[in-house]
Structure 1
Amino acid sequence: MSGVPTTQRIAALNALREPYTIVDGHPIPVIKDDDEVLVKCQVIGLNPIDWKAPDFGFGIPVLPYIAGRELSGRVVKTSATSSRFKEGDNVIVISTDYRDLRKAAYQEYVVSSHFNVVKIPPSLSLRSGATIGVAFVATALALGISMGVDFSSVANGPDLLKLVKNVDRESLPEDIRAECLDNILPSERALPGDWVIIWGGSSTSANIALQLARLAGLRVVTVVDKAKHGLRLSTHEVLRPDLLIDSHDPDRVVEILKSNFGEQLRFALDTRGRESASALAKALRRLHNADSSPPSPPGTPKGTKIIRSHLVGLTGLPKEPVDESLVYHTVPIKLYHEVPSVGEELSLWLERLLGGNFLVTPDIIAVDEGFHGINKGLDRMRRGEISGGKAVVTLE
């Protein structure tokens, strides 16, 4: 570990609803397990959670707190089991394990489990590498687990639902077991040709979800503010959906979806919040027969099979209760950092997707420098200035 100092600079949150404070002389995080690596942080990707959590008082397990969920940088120390990496490798670190402050991005040196590290191909810059990790993990799990999309035909990707069902139930975190194992039936899995609605097409998560869905053969409806993003998305070579709907009037969105798709529409991903998720629930909530015939009357025989709809909320779900035709899903993000077989499959798949140019990384629309740039970038996000792309902070 030559050239690594004993202390570092960090950005720490000392109290809720305060800016991050720059602290010098903080200890370098220590590798504790054989499957961990140490990475020098060079570019930080900013995410909405980094300002929403301190502003609204959630997702902060301890104070002072070090935040930050994704970065790119250079490997400076490896361990015996991290044979995929060597010192000097350029990598992406995806830190979904927000309770382990050694893994947080807002510091000069970061520890990560090797199965949460992705090699950056020569064709990709460190800045671009810092834009994609969290969105990729969240949307791959949303599509692959909650909707049952099989990615095995896409750059030798994983069938995540099959992979998780082969994991011992007791080894899964208790709070995500039902989502992983019980919330979608084999007969309900999304298949090539099915439609999926993505609400919030200007967000990084929505853009990655669209790309992954299209690669797997799904057809995509994007709901977005057309006044801001309509022209860009409708003419974009990669992000252009099969149907683009203006989000201005949620009731009108529901009407358009019901009129155009009816029983064909069973899958939706919301990236915006509870209001838009509620609109999607209205569009999806109906009885589905296995043969896609019209909804059955109240006297439906008990043996009639109902193919349910599935709604995934990245930032919230409707208050309205579900019924027998609709299932609400939250993304089991813990799979990535607590189940090594899943984390490694996703990380290796992202390496192949980036190396083979299957995925287009988000546009970088704001760049700030140094640790003081973290607060500047997050203030831009608070003011709504970061839309349709990503904000990053460079440390070198």
Structure 2
Amino acid sequence: MATQTALVVTEIGKPVTATTRPIPVPKENEVLLKVSAAGLNPIDQKNRDYGIFIKHSLPAILGTDLAGIVEKVGTNVSGVRVGDHIVTQSNSAGGSDYAPLQQYALVGTALTARIPGAISFDEAATLPSCAIAAFIALFHASGLNIPPPFRDVTTDFDYRHTKIAIVGAGSNCGKFGLQFARIANIGTVVAIAAVQGEAELKSLGATHVIDRHLSNAEIQSRVLQIVGNDLVYVFDAVTMDHTIAISLLSNRQKGTVAHLVPGEPDKTTKAEKQAGFESKQVIGSGHMLPDIGIPFWKAVPQWLENGDLKPLGYTVIEGLDANKVNASMDAYRVGKGTKTHVHP
């Protein structure tokens, strides 16, 4: 049996180490991908250190974002051929055969996108986890439930007169949220972020940028000046208590906050919202929500080709270097991590 190199977690709280394991064989509706770019995210550090999703499946391979070249095709596969360049979010529920921190990984074809010729593997690999999380937050019933901007979806929803605020708009998930708001032609998009990045945020879709370093009261005041007292959509990409996000909602209409990080706002802020509000924890997985995941990945190539969806920045680790990969995850733990891709 052919083998490959992989980085694995063998004990929770310990560094990943290199090992040799068999190259998996694609089954029905699957392909074997030669991994060109394996993206790391903060969840990988949490899995390594705390075993959030992997503690019962050791040894485990980490990673959520992958892009590469189709090496083999399983049965009943259509629309994907050997040699195709594709990008996807790994199916963590499938186990280590589907994780990207190895030379070859399995991919289910229903939730993949062809990579346009002008887009590199690394550029494509900036998308999967952050982009799908932001898209679900804005356009799925488990998030803000704005109708998704798919070409084959007909709706009379008034995007142009819709207002949304994005807390943590300077994060990768926040930046994709801005882009999807622009793709949907949402009329007013208020970004709460560091003002040093104002030009980039406006190029991605923000109509207004408010400095996240201001006091909560000042942020509220400035948002109120822009949208009035009728904001009903807030996407919180980064905070744990969601206090600032909920404080921005209308006091006279019921609103919704979609957030990526679990947490609870302070009681005073909750009590201020006399019209009520919904706080929704978003699960950023197209595999768990195929009703939106499948059409999302189907739309991605056209968005990339049109320039509507722009990849974000990244750094690269060449080879399956366990020391460098561990250092990258250590940086996430202390809040200094950057989007990092490994080239297996």
Shift of 1:240: 5.6
2:169 pairs, out of 193, 201, 224, with 201
Q: Does residue 263 in structure 1 map to residue 229 in structure 2?
A: yes
Q: Does residue 14 in structure 1 map to residue 13 in structure 2?
A: no
Provide the residue aligned with 1:215 in structure 2: 183
Take 1:236 and 1:313, find their aligned partners in 2: how far apart are those partners? 19
Provide the residue aligned with 2:148 in structure 1: 151
Provide the residue aligned with 1:282 in structure 2: 247
Contact kept, 8 Å, 1:38 with 1:78, in 2: the verdict is: yes
Shift of 1:144: 0.9
Q: Which runs of 5+ in 2 are unaligned?
A: none
User: Which amino acid in 1 is paired with 2:10?
Assistant: N
Secondary structure of 1:268's partner? Answer: strand
Take 1:342 and 1:195, find their aligned partners in 2: how far apart are those partners? 22
Contact kept, 8 Å, 2:230 with 2:251, in 1: the verdict is: no
Contact kept, 8 Å, 1:148 with 1:190, in 2: the verdict is: no
Contact kept, 8 Å, 1:268 with 1:311, in 2: the verdict is: yes
Secondary structure of 2:232's partner? Answer: strand
Take 1:89 and 1:340, find their aligned partners in 2: how far apart are those partners? 23
Contact kept, 8 Å, 1:44 with 1:393, in 2: the verdict is: yes
Take 1:108 and 1:235, find their aligned partners in 2: how far apart are those partners? 34
Secondary structure of 1:311's partner? Answer: strand
The one-character-per-residue Cα deviations of 1:47-86 (angstroms, maximum 9, x if unpaired) are 1111123334422242222111011111011133321110
Provide the residue aligned with 1:108 in structure 2: 103
Aligned residues between the structures? 332
- Paired residues for 1:54-203 under 5 Å: 54-60=48-54, 61-98=56-93, 100-145=95-140, 146-152=143-149, 156=151, 191-203=159-171
The one-character-per-residue Cα deviations of 1:3-27 (angstroms, maximum 9, x if unpaired) are xx62111111122222111112x12
Take 2:297 and 2:308, find their aligned partners in 1: how far apart are those partners? 15
Take 2:43 and 2:264, find their aligned partners in 1: how far apart are those partners? 20
Cα gap change, 1:235/1:210 in structure 2, threshold over 3 Å: closer, same or farther? closer
Bigger radius of gyration, 1 or 2? 1
When the two chains are superposed, the root-mean-square deviation of aligned CA atoms in Å is 2.5
User: Which amino acid in 2 is paired with 1:10?
Assistant: A
User: Which amino acid in 1 is paired with 2:318?
Assistant: E
Provide the residue aligned with 2:305 in structure 1: 355
Cα gap change, 1:279/1:10 in structure 2, threshold over 3 Å: closer, same or farther? same
User: Which amino acid in 2 is paired with 1:345?
Assistant: P
User: Which amino acid in 1 is paired with 2:309?
Assistant: L
Take 2:299 and 2:97, find their aligned partners in 1: how far apart are those partners? 25
Take 1:68 and 1:264, find their aligned partners in 2: how far apart are those partners? 40
What is the percent sequence identity of the aligned residues? 24
User: Which amino acid in 2 is paired with 1:274?
Assistant: M
Contact kept, 8 Å, 2:60 with 2:96, in 1: the verdict is: yes
Q: Which runs of 5+ in 1 are unaligned?
A: 163-185, 289-307
Q: Does residue 232 in structure 1 map to residue 183 in structure 2?
A: no
User: Which amino acid in 1 is paired with 2:257?
Assistant: L
TM-score (norm 1): 0.76
Take 1:84 and 1:242, find their aligned partners in 2: how far apart are those partners? 39
